């Protein structure tokens, strides 16, 4: 255990799903403490009045204010709100920012944001002041493709079908998030046009400079609460054994991403910061399954993983979590 004082963390948008997960992780983190949890609509309420599972774990209250003296600031506000907050508030120069929205993943800014996928930019993240946390679908899909891009093997169209849990839509109510609609149901949304396609393409091109293949992505709303299961396939000139070895080699130094040689399922990763992959070959098609928890490796867990790297903590610190298993 380090003798260093704990770093102070602030959370903007702390009442939502990702904000709640940040709170849960930081309450148990040995080297960080929550300085404030901001929620305009819940100011003055105890955190456990909103995140009811935290009763007995914290007596912190939500605040509507922004405290400047923090070491790291997590932006868990909705898309469009993060850039507005950064532009409207005087944030101390030493404060590191981790934005969980899409606002800074490709937007021009006077602050230099690093795309926060450790399996792609770990060394850059260690030196970064500002992090744009990847999207949940983007994380799951990029992990299925990064080793191929790194080996310049993406020379054909990529096909993806991926289902996400209801928490991927955020906490706000909508017709497609109600239990009576979502339960025992399955639907497609934003086919071929999902907003994460841009960052996926950018990430692949950062490894394979000549990458210009179409990415055909069919997102689905699953009848479950959390997790993403992505099925990815593309024509690739590599054998099943070679592909498995390629993936193992690429991820061997990354503590949360695992390449399996047997069937994988969502419950192996739900409530953890893990990603699990399985690589198979069918004829000329290389088929990759990729699974993550959309709120952890796909959002808040990855944000804390990035915080660990930025402050020189062990990458897995505070993230050795137990899966639901069954």
Q: Catalytic residue positions?
A: 136
Identify any residues that bridge with 32 across adjacent strands, giving them in sequence order.
Answer: 7
Helices (H) and strands (E) in the chain, counts: 9, 14
Instruction: Spell out the long-range contacts of 256-259 with Cβ–Cβ below 8 A and sequence spacing 24 or more.
Output: 256/118, 256/297, 256/305, 256/316, 256/319, 257/119, 257/143
- Please report how many Cα atoms fall inside a 13 Å half-sphere around the Cα of residue 136, on the Cβ side: 26
What distance in Å separates the CA atoms of residue 98 and residue 79, rounded to the nearest whole number? 14
The length of the chain is 326
DSSP string, 140-182: HHHHHHHHHHHTT---S-EEEEEEE-GGGG-SS--TTTSHHHH
What distance in Å separates the CA atoms of residue 191 and residue 214, rounded to the nearest whole number? 13
Distance, C-alpha 162 to centroid of its chain: 15
Q: Regarding beta strands 7-12 and 32-38, do their DSSP bridges make them parallel or antiparallel, or are they unpaired?
A: parallel
Q: Which of 128, 196, 132, 203 is nearest to 164 (CA)?
A: 196
Q: What is the DSSP letter of 46?
A: B
């Amino acid at each position: 255990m380090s003798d260093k004082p704990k770093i102070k963390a602030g959370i903007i948008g702390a009442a939502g799903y990702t904000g709640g997960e940040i709170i849960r992780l930081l309450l148990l983190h040995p080297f960080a403490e929550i300085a404030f949890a901001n929620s305009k609509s819940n100011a003055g309420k105890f955190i456990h009045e909103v995140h009811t599972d935290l009763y007995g774990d914290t007596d912190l209250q939500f605040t509507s204010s922004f405290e400047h003296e923090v070491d790291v600031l997590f932006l868990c506000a909705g898309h469009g709100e993060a850039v507005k907050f950064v532009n409207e508030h005087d944030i101390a120069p030493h404060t590191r920012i981790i934005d969980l929205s899409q606002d800074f993943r490709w937007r021009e800014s006077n602050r230099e944001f690093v795309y926060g996928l450790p399996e792609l930019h770990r060394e850059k993240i260690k030196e970064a002041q500002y992090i744009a946390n990847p999207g949940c679908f983007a994380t799951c899909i990029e992990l299925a493709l990064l080793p191929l891009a790194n080996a310049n093997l993406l020379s054909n169209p990529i096909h993806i079908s991926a289902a996400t849990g209801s928490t991927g839509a955020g906490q706000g109510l909508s017709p497609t998030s109600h239990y009576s609609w979502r339960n025992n149901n399955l639907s497609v949304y934003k086919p071929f046009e999902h907003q994460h396609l841009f960052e996926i393409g950018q990430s692949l091109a950062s490894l394979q400079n000549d990458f210009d293949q179409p990415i055909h992505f069919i997102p689905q709303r699953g009848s479950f609460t959390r997790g993403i299961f992505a099925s990815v396939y593309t024509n690739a000139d590599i054998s099943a054994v070679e592909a498995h070895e390629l993936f193992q080699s690429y991820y061997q130094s990354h503590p949360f991403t695992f390449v399996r040689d047997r069937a994988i399922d969502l419950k192996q990763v739900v409530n953890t910061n893990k990603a699990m992959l399985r690589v198979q070959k069918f004829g000329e098609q290389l088929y990759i399954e990729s699974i993550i928890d959309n709120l952890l490796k796909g959002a808040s867990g990855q944000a804390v993983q990035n915080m660990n790297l930025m402050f020189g903590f062990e990458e897995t610190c505070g993230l050795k979590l137990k899966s639901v298993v069954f």
